Structure formats: C-alpha cells, structure tokens
Chain A
Amino acid sequence: MRNLADTLSRSEIFRSGHALCPGCPGGMIFRWITKALGKDSILSMGATCLALPTGIYPSSVEIPSIYIAMAPAPAAVSGISAAIKVLKRKGRIREDRKINVFAISGDGSSGDIGMASLSGAAERDDDGIYFCFDNEAYMNTGIQRSGLTPQFSWTTSTLKGKVEKKKDLPRIMAAHDIPYVATVSVGYPEDFISKIEKARDMGPGFKYFHIHAPCPTGWRFPESKTIEVARLAVETGFWTLYEVDHGSTRITYQPPKLRPVMDYLQLQGRFEGLSDGNVRELQRGIHEKWEHQITLTPE
C-alpha cells in the first residue's frame, strides 16, 4: 500500500478555522482534494456543507473560488474552463500552465436541483473535476431528505423513514460516457487520493467523483465514529468503491467478505426505527447490487 505521508504534498491549502461540524469528514476531504490538485486550481463551489470553509470570511482555502447559487456549480466549471481556454489562446494565461478546475457540491444540489446543470456539463464534456459530497440529505438546512437519502432513513422530512430508494448518481454520470467516474469514501484515503491524481493527470474532459461522507449531525452517530461508519459502509457493501475509466468499470477495493449490513446500520440513529423486514430488504438489495457489480469487473 502506498504511503500517503511520503507522496502527498506537504503544503497546506486548506487551513484550520473552517466552520464545519465536529466530526465532519469534509475537512479531511477538502484537505486531500486541495493537496492533490495544488494551488494552481480554481474552485466552483456549489450548495453543500463544504461551502462553509470558503463562504465565511476569511476563506479557509487558499485557492480562488466562486459560489453562484444552489444548482449551477457544474455550469460554473464550464464557464471557468471556457474562459481559461480562450484566455490561453489570447496569451493572457500562459499556454503551458495547467489550472485544475474543480467543483464541490452536495447530494441535493448535484442530484436534485442541479441535475440538469450537472448532466449538461458532463454531456458537453467540459473540462473539470466534479466532487459530489454525498452526506445523503439536505444537511445545511437541517437534515431534509434528498433524492440521495437511502431507503428507510429518518430525516426531518421523512419522520417514519424514507420510502424510496437512493438515486444512483454515479451510474447516471457513467451513462454520460465521460472520461472518468469514481466513487470514493473518507474511510479509504489511499483509494480516494490515487483516483484524484488519476483524474488530474488525464486530458481535458469532465470527471465525476461521488464521495460517501458520513455526517455525525444528520446520521445521528458520535462525532468520533466518522471513519468507522465510513469503513463499515464499504465493508458491508452498502457503499462500493469503483471507478469507470473511459468506459471500463473496476472495483477498486474489494472487502474480503461482506459484513452484515446491520453492523453499519446499528451505529446510526437515522436507522433506529428499522424493522427486521426493512433490514432484510436492504441486505437483499446489497447482494443483488454486489453481484451486478462483480459482473462489471473484468477480472
């Protein structure tokens, strides 16, 4: 396994003093992303908890960023990279300077209100890396359900648990036939960072990252357990780490043996009211998904 401490940049672009909740994985994620992409970057910030570090004066992030509105973080990626392209042609930005354009937005802003914007930027294959910070509900406004909230989860707008299933946004993005789609988790930093570096070093085009981001505040677990919850999501098969690199899908981390989904659910207050039947249904869903995913992997 690679030793991140030896290979990752030591300069800190993401600084302390941000306004994220205790135990929020966003601080770590923001730090890794900015370390991997470096200072020559421009950030399009969408509506997400991660807008707080750049959105409250003074910014905790030492790169330029812009926030427009709830939906259009992907369109802003298009605008920034279009401007860079023309300004390079006109000699106002050096032709050989590589500026990484990236966006961070939430699950609701990416998969609900901003779906058209995201799909449009992907279809045009505009140059940039898009990170969907998926904490599985509208957390900034106080834990309301989104299209990406998992089935049976409590939120403040689904008091008896969400009836519908989670929208599978990474698969929708893969269907756009963009150069790169990756699912990542805060519990697996080596996997996460290698994928960012891979996307960074690809040619121009739209790359999509879907970050599974456990939220102590909204998921109702102790703030010391963020990484444990993140890892259990993957070890139980509730969340899968894979990539779709120019159309070819590969599972990048295979748990030796899937643990029962209950190990993941029982740590979180949002799944407190689940019946045995609900748990069995989730378990069956995981097995079906997992078999489908195995068949996608060539090895």
Chain B
Amino acid sequence: MEKRKMLTGNYAAAHGARLARVEVVPVYPITPQTHIMEKMAAFVESGELDAEFVPVESEHSAMAVAIAAQATGARTFTASSSQGLVYMHENLFVASGLRLPVVMAMVNRTIGAPTTICPDLSDSLDQRDTGWIQIYTESAQEAHDMIIQAYRVGEDERVLLPVGICFEGMIISHYMEPVEILDQGKVDRFLPPYRPEHVVLDPDRPMSVHQLVLDDSYYTEYKYQQQVAMEEAKGVIQEVDEAFGETFGRRYGGLISTEMMEDAEVALLTLGSMAPTARAVVSQLREEEDMPIGLVKLRAFRPFPDEELKESLSNLKAVAVLERDVSIGAGGIVYLELAHCLGKKHDSPLLTNYIMGLGGRDVTFEEIKDTALNLFEERDAEVMTNPIRWYQVRGLS
C-alpha cells in the first residue's frame, strides 16, 4: 500500500532509493544532501534495506566505490551536492564511459567562492559533459518517484548510463511536503533487479574493464556509442514515465512538461523549484487576465530535448528562460542550450534569459510575473535587445 507521509525532499529521495532495493551505498556528508546519507545509514542499520553502507572519506571515493560496486554487479546509490559533485567530477566521466547505471541524488547548491549552503543549479549543470543523464525535479514527490524511474531508465540495455536526479537544496531538500511513499510490491514489479551482462567483474568470465585506447584505435567509437545511448534515452525516459503512470497513476511528461500552451503566444521556460511559482503566475495571467501565456518545464537537461522543445516553442512569439545558474562570461546555461537548439530561423521565438535566484535568493511570484509581463511588452520586437538579464542585481539602478 502507498503511504502518505510528511517528508523532506531528502527523505523522499532516500525512501526512493530504499524501494529501488539499492545494494551498495557509498556517501560522504555535505550540506544540503547529508540527510540522505543519514537516512540511508539508518535504513541499512535497521535492516529495512539489505545493502552495504560505505562511509567513504571523500566524494571522489564515493563515486569510485559506486563505480566498482556497480561493475561487480550491485545496484548502487549515492548523493552529493556542490563542492562534492565538483570533487568527484573526474569519476563521473568514468561511470558513464564504463556504461555503469549508477544513480545519484544531486542536491543542488552553489559552488564557492563565495560559499553559501543555499541552492543554485550550477553544480549539476557543470557536470553536463560527463555523460550522465540529468533530470530536474520540482517537489519531494517528484524526487521520490524519479529515483525509482532513474534505475529503470539507466539500466535499460538501450541506455546503460548513470543518472542524476536533481533538486534544489534547502527549497526541496529541507522543506516538508506530503509525499506518497510507493508500495514495495509495485516497485518490485515496475523495476526488475539489476543483472548486468555488459560489464561485470566475475572471475568466471574475466574482463579487463577500462583499457587504454591509444592512438587511432576506438576512442571515437566509444564516445559515439555513449552519444547513441543518450539519444536512445530520450525514448526510454518517455516510455518509463508512461509505464510509471500505468503502475502508480502519476505521470510527469518525460523530457519536458508543457502546461497551458494552447494558443499561447509567449511562454516561460524554467526547471526545478521555480516551476511551481511560474505555474501559479501563468495560471493567474490566463485565468484573470486572459493572457496567452504557457509554461514549459524542462525535466531532462541531458539528454537535451531539442526536438520536443522545438515542437512546443517554435510557433511562439517570445520565450523567457528563468534559471538559477550562470556560466560566467556567457549566460544562463539552459538559455544557451535553448538558443542553440532553436537556432536563428525566421520563425524562432524571441528569447530572453533571466538569471535569478542565485545563491538561494528567493524568487517570488511578483518577480516571475514581472518577467512574464515583459514578454508581452517585447513579443513583437524585431530583435530582443539585451537578452541575457541579471535580474535585480543590488546596487544597479
């Protein structure tokens, strides 16, 4: 039976990992992820989860233990944030290069300096080239459900890639929400056990995992296969979301979710915890002002849903990308990818980018409404002037 409980995002994610029957759990503490570590340790100690908990001495080792355990045939789970994610960076490439479907809760937090323990998405977005699937979630429930979906996506033989389930520290990790904890029997039917054939350290079938591919041997082909797997993952994420809906009665839309897009002329595009606020803004403008605006929530950042975004956005006049991250010297990371994906065709919508909420600064209903109203003012412009906008920087007029 499903159970409804008041849970933080961190505990919801930990319950997701427990229900996925993860077998090796190497974690190193870091705020705001630490409650996941504590909860997993408690599950293992109490016997609620039959797993080995490995209290590693660093995030670098956390990922190495996960890689080695997954390569030995165990389903693994870890969690990290911020400096920790950056510290394990080189091993993230190894997990995906060896095609090991490790799953990690990436609890978003800024990267110093300056240091804060508050959220933005720069830490996980910074891992975008490591070959990990990345899914962004907006609530404790979505984090819980997606940890379970992540294993089915990553372990699918068409994919075999590691998966990060991302949610913002403090905002989602620490606030309590009612969460429906899924039923173990149903999860077991939804998620078959991990029985790898492609990479496994088995003395009866010795293989040397991770060799040199010097000179002009097969490095290109290895990378190409990862790219193909990422492309395949687009369909698999969609399929798994549908199957999840059939089993549990809840769907998220797969790569992106679009809301109130019928006859929309403009749209807000965001991800993570800003999505619910943006949704409230869009529905107020729709219902009270009858304004033609919609919402696109980006769920998968890797693989990047270029086709889906083109399809939902190309007939619009203007789109504002609201994001809690920045690539210094360029702009919002999601905006940059979206601009690349939409290109400069004559029917492409005008794009603006609001860099807001950095370092956990609160992003309010009124502020998002302000960006939406700007869209209506600017929707008929020839070109969008000054598209990359640092929203309300103190000390600037």
Contacts and interface: CB of A to CB of B under 8 A. Distances in A.
A140 to B, nearest CB: 11
Contact of B211 (A39, A59, A77): A59
Interface string B64-81: 111111111110100000
Interface string A36-74: 000111101000000000111111011111111101101
Nearest to A74: B61
B50 A78 contact: no
A28 interface: no
A61 B210 contact: no
B206 A64 contact: yes
Interface string B356-390: 00000000000000000000000000000000000
Contacts of A77: 68
Contact of A79 (B26, B58, B205, B208): B26
A90 B201 CA distance: 17
A64 B64 contact: no
A66 B203 contact: no
A77 B51 CA distance: 17
B180 interface: no
Given A79-B65, A87-B72, A55 B211 contact: yes
A61 B251 CA distance: 48
A262 B94 CA distance: 46
Nearest to B200: A64
A87 B203 CA distance: 14
B57 A123 contact: yes
A79 B206 contact: no
Contacts of B212: 55-57
A172 to B, nearest CB: 15
Contacts of B201: 42, 64-66, 80
Contact of A82 (B24, B67, B205, B209): B24
A171 to B, nearest CB: 20
A72 B64 CA distance: 6
Interface stretch (A114-122, A191-199, A211-219, A234-242): A114-122
Nearest to B65: A79
Contacts of A117: 57-58, 60-61, 64
Interface residues of B, number: 42
A86 B50 contact: yes
Nearest to B207: A64
Contacts of B61: 72, 74-75, 78, 116-117, 120
B73 A69 contact: no
B211 A80 contact: no
B308 interface: no
B213 to A, nearest CB: 8
B65 A76 contact: yes
A124 interface: yes
B68 A68 contact: yes
A248 B51 CA distance: 34
Mostly, the A contact residues are: mixed
B311 interface: no
B69 A62 contact: no
Nearest to B195: A92
Contacts, number: 156
Contact of A61 (B24, B68, B208): B208
B91 A82 contact: no
B23 interface: yes
Contacts of B24: 79, 82-83, 86
Interface in B188-220: 200-203, 205-212, 214
A120 B52 contact: no
B343 interface: no
Given A55-B211, A64-B208, A86-B23, A79 B68 contact: yes
B60 A80 contact: no
Interface in A122-138: 123-124, 126
Contacts of A69: 64, 90-91, 94
B23 A87 contact: yes
Contacts of B56: 75, 78, 120
Interface in B23-67: 23-24, 26, 50-52, 54-58, 60-61, 64-67
B58 A62 contact: no
A73 to B, nearest CB: 8
Contact of B209 (A39, A66, A123): A66
A166 interface: no
Contacts of A44: 68
Contacts of A64: 200-203, 205-209
A84 to B, nearest CB: 6
Contacts of A246: none
Contacts of B67: 66, 68, 76, 79
A258 interface: no
B72 A89 contact: no
A83 B64 contact: no
A67 B98 CA distance: 10
Nearest to A60: B208
A42 B72 contact: yes
Contacts of A62: 206
Interface in A234-266: none
A148 B61 CA distance: 22
A44 B91 CA distance: 15
A79 B73 contact: no
Given A69-B64, A85-B52, A117-B64, A56 B211 contact: yes
A269 B175 CA distance: 66
Closest 8 CB pairs of A and B: A79-B68, A120-B57, A72-B64, A83-B72, A75-B64, A59-B208, A75-B61, A76-B68
16 contacts: A42-B201, A54-B208, A57-B212, A63-B206, A64-B200, A67-B210, A69-B64, A72-B61, A76-B67, A79-B72, A83-B24, A86-B74, A90-B50, A117-B61, A119-B57, A126-B54
Interface of A: 39-42, 44, 54-59, 61-69, 71-72, 74-80, 82-87, 89-90, 92, 99, 116-117, 119-120, 123-124, 126
Given A42-B203, A80-B72, A86-B52, 20 more contacts: A57-B211, A61-B208, A63-B203, A64-B200, A64-B209, A66-B201, A67-B211, A68-B94, A71-B64, A78-B56, A79-B64, A80-B69, A80-B201, A82-B65, A83-B24, A83-B70, A83-B73, A87-B72, A116-B61, A120-B58
